[in-house]
Amino acid sequence: MTTASLDRRLNLRHERIDGRPPAGQMSFCLPTDLTGNGRPDILVGAVGGTYPVTVPVLGKRLFLRKLPLVGDVIERLEWNVFWYENPGWKRHDVAKAPELSVGGALGDITGNGRVDLVAGQNLGRNDLYWFEQPANPRDEWTRRVITSDFEKYHDVAVADVDDDGELEVLALSQESATVFYYDIPTNPRQEPWPVENRHVVAENLNVEGVQVGDIDGDGRTEILAGTNLFHRADDGGWKREPLAEGWNWTRLATADVDGDGDLEIVVTEGDLPYQGNRRARLGVFDPPTWELTVLHDDLSNPHSLQVADLDGDGRPDIYVAEMGLETGHVPRQFVFWNEGDGRFEPEVVERGVPTHEAKLVDLDGDGAMDIVGKGYAHRTVDVWHNRLS
């Protein structure tokens, strides 16, 4: 299935690579080269629920998934981690895990040179997992528990958080309102990981969206969790610097969008109005005082946010896509074209395809950034091939 694009500066070709993925509610979308051919493949995780499993009872349909014990059995039989091989988009079902939440991350947990997957469970569930990639990524991936001490992990990262030269696993637990990370143990295959390897960054903080890196240019790594910047102190603790209040359910990106040599923080309110009573915003926070410029304030669940140079002019543009959860609203995809000096020109580049956690990535090696996305409550996986005009 292909559709013509609506844009002026992009030359997009829409391809639906799967109209019936093996899960109903999909949570994360991660492009990465799993086969070593130089082409990014697409790894997808899901809350679960291929479709309602029903049987006829007394003239009605009984939803087996809602029954105690039976629903758990159905979940355990479903494949909800799968990936699409580039080129050709053959799907490989590789792992099972009940109720995977949004915001999975990739990183080499074992040190064997292959990326593994980290993802946590959703609302009412407690497991944070890592999935070991086998020598052949098409085979089943082994699932292991990192911790079961928190509830609902929305966004994780695999990065050198504390500048010790080694990777850590960072997670945001929304329902437990905790930001924490683990030093990867010598034997990462042990379950769970030792509590003494855990470091709590913040408590009583329910946020979405995470970035790890030297954001303020001081030579040390910071943690950006929602609109909160955490600086590492000399004693190993973390000091919170709030950028703004009232920005909830956020997606985050960092880039020098105005050409001044400093990183700005780009933020959308990804789950508004789905989680609230007002429209969502897109804003740019400019250091060092984090002055806010709102670029749009009438968005509908913009749960995809990426920053990259889309038109080849050397300036990073901002890409945003809407989830399609609002009744009667046609979901849009935007590019905010970077005109220089902090100025952006918005343009709708696609309509009508609900998109969640989309990523910008060069799928075919032609130097142009393509778009990879999938639905959240809609069973589609899509790509938009970009040819520079």
pLDDT digits (tens, 9 = 90+) for 253-267: 999 999 999 999 999
Q: What is the pLDDT of residue 38?
A: 97
Contact in structure between 345 and 339 (CB atoms under 8 Å): yes
Contact in structure between 326 and 274 (CB atoms under 8 Å): yes
Give 183-242 as a DSSP string: EPPSSTTSSS--GGGEEEEEES-----EEEE--SSSSS-EEEESSEEEEEPTTS-EEEEE
Q: What is the pLDDT of residue 78?
A: 74
Q: What is the pLDDT of residue 6?
A: 45
Q: What is the pLDDT of residues 168-199, one digit of tens each?
A: 999 999 999 999 999 999 999 999 999 999 99
What is the Cα Rg of the chain in Å?
A: 21
185 alpha-carbon distance from chain centroid: 25
Q: What is the pLDDT of residue 48?
A: 79
Query: DSSP 3-state helix, strand, coil percentages of the chain (rounded to 5)?
Result: 5, 45, 50
Q: 43 to each of 30, 118, 284, 361, 373, how far by Cα in Å?
A: 5, 12, 29, 13, 11
Contacts of 160 (CB under 8 A, 6+ apart): 166, 167, 168, 221
* List of domains in the chain: 243-355 (2.40.128)
Q: What is the pLDDT of residue 57?
A: 58
Cα distance between residue 97 and residue 211, in whole Å: 25
Q: For residue 80, is it left (φ>0), alpha (ψ between -120 and 50) or beta?
A: alpha
Contacts of 112 (CB under 8 A, 6+ apart): none
**pTM flag (> 0.85):** yes
Contact in structure between 369 and 309 (CB atoms under 8 Å): yes
Give 321-370 as a DSSP string: E----STTPPPEEEEEEEEETTEEEEEEEEES---EEEEEE-SSSSS--E
Q: Which two tokens stand for residue 344?
A: 């952006």
Q: Which two tokens stand for residue 163?
A: 């500048």
Q: What is the pLDDT of residue 341?
A: 84
Q: Is the peptide bond before 302 cis (omega within 30 degrees of 0)?
A: no
Q: Which helix (H) or strand (E) holds 388?
A: none
Q: What is the pLDDT of residue 2?
A: 38
Cα distance between residue 97 and residue 181, in whole Å: 21
**Which residues, given as ranges, of the chain have pLDDT below 70?**
1-8, 49-77, 388-389
Give 243-256 as a DSSP string: --SS--SEEEEEE-
